[in-house]
Amino acid sequence: MSRKVSIQTLADQLGLSKYAVSRALSGKTGVSESTRARVLELARALGYRQNTPGSASPPASPNPTNFAEPPFVLICMNQLNRGEPHYWQRVLSGIISGCNEQGWHHVIVSPSLDMPDKHIAPEKAIAPHLDWTSCAGIIVMGAFPHTVLQQLVQTGRPMILVDHQEPLLNCDTISHDNLEAGITAARYLMSKQCRRIGLITDDGRAASFAQRKIGIELALNHFHTEASEAVSFKTWNVAYENGRWVDKLAAAIERLPVEERPDAWIGANDDIALQWMHRLQQMGISVPGHCLVIGIDNVYTAATSSPPLTTVHLCKEELGQRAVEALQRRIERPGTPKETVMLSTTLIPRESA
C-alpha cells in the first residue's frame, strides 16, 4: 500500500474539508454516516494508511475548522429575541438539539448592533472571552445589520443564516417559506367567501413579515384573474413592539362604516392575530360570527385561545435542526455553491376561521 495517500488527497478527491475527512477516518462525530462511508470507501481503494503510534503526525492545517476538541457552534441571537418564548426560543431549542446530536457544544452571544471597530479583530469584537480555535461555525438567528454580518463573515468560520436573507453575503440560508404562508392564509379566507381582507403587520420589523404580505398580494392578484368578484385588501401597519397599536387600530376601525370593515383579518404573526381577536370581541364584534381571524406561526397559545385561532404552522424546532445540518454540510463541503432552504408551511384550521 502506498504511504503517499494523505488526508488532503482524500479531501481533494471527495470535495470535502480535511476536518471532515479526518473525523470520518477516526470515527468521530461531526460528519454524516453517508459522508463517513464515502471517505472510508475511497481510503480503502487508494490504500490510505492512518498514522500508527510513533509515526509522524500530518502537519496542522491552517483551515479554521481544524479546531481543538470539543468543537462548539457560536449562536448569534438578537437580544430582543432572547426572551421571546413562542418562536425564537423554539428555534433555539432545535439548534441546541441538533448540536447535541453532532456532539458539538454551543455558545449563545448577542453581538453589538453598533458599527464595528475596524481596529479590533472580529473575533475579539464579537466574543473576546471565547477560544475561537474550537469554533466549528456560526449560526445567526434572525435579522442583524449588514455590518454585523460582515464582521461575522470575517472570522473565516462557515456561517448559516436562520430566517433572514442577505444576498450580498455568500452564506447558506434556512428559513420558512413565508411567501407560501401568506398565499395559504389569503387563499383559505377567499375560500370562505371573504371579500374584504385586512392585514395587520409591522413593515419595518422583519423580512418574514414583508414576505408574508407579498404572498397575500400574490394570492389576491391571482384570484382577480380567475373570478369576476372583487376582493378588497387593506394593510394596517402598526408599531408591533408598542402595545398601544391595538387601541389605535380599534379607534380607526370604529370610525369606518360597518360595510367597509374587513370581514376577515390576517395577523402577520399569531401574537398580532390573538391580540386583535381579543380586542374585536371587546368591541362587540364576534369572531367568527361577524368576521374571521387567521394568524401565522402556530404558537402554543393559538390552540387554547377563545375561540382557538386558525393559523399557518411554521416548523420552528425543525428550522433550528436544519440550520445545524446546513452547517455540517458546509463544513464537509466548503466549496459548494451556497444554498437557500425553505421549509414548507401547513394550514391549521380552527374555530376563529
CA-CA distance, 96 to 92, in Å (whole number)?
6
**CB neighbours (10 Å) of residue 36?**
18
Say how far apart CA 221 and CA 224 lie, in whole Å. Answer: 5
Q: What angle do CA 353, 295, 75 make, to 5 degrees?
A: 155
Q: Is 69 exposed, middle or buried (0-12, 13-18, 19+ CB in 10 A)?
A: exposed
Q: From CA 65, how far away is CA 158, in angstroms rounded?
A: 9
Residue 231: what pLDDT?
87
What is the distance between the alpha carbons of residues 292 and 194, in angstroms, rounded to a whole number?
8
Return the exposure string of 3-35: e unless at least 16 CB atoms fall within 10 Å of the residue's CB, then b: eebebebbbeebebbbbbbbbbbeeeebbeeeb
Q: Please check whether residue 196 is in contact with residue 190, taking contact to mean a CB–CB distance below 8 angstroms.
A: no
pLDDT at 112: 78
Largest pairwise CA distance in the chain: 87
pLDDT tens, residue order, the chain (353 aa)? 344 678 878 777 787 877 778 777 877 666 777 887 788 878 877 777 665 443 333 333 334 445 556 789 999 998 777 777 788 899 999 999 999 998 899 999 988 777 666 778 888 888 888 888 889 999 999 888 888 888 899 888 999 999 988 888 889 999 999 999 999 999 999 999 999 999 999 987 778 899 999 999 999 988 765 555 778 999 999 998 777 999 999 999 999 999 999 999 999 999 999 999 999 999 999 999 999 999 999 999 999 999 999 999 999 999 999 999 999 999 988 888 999 999 999 999 999 99
Provide φ and ψ at 75, rounded to 5°: -105, 115
Beta bridge partners of 75: 108, 139
Instruction: Compute CA 97 distance to the chain's CA centroid, rounded to the nearest angstrom.
Output: 15
- 150 and 113 Cβ atoms separated by less than 8 Å: no
Tell me which residue has cell 432552504.
341
Any alpha helices (H) in the chain, and if so which ranges?
7-14, 18-26, 33-46, 88-102, 122-126, 146-153, 178-191, 207-226, 245-255, 270-282, 316-332
| Per-residue model confidence (pLDDT) at position 39 | 83
Strand partners, 24: none
CA angle 161, 146, 325 (to 5 degrees): 10
CA distance 310 to 168: 37
Cβ(3)–Cβ(321) under 8 Å? Answer: no
Q: Amino acid identity, residue 278?
A: H
- Secondary structure tally for the chain: helices H, strands E: 11, 12
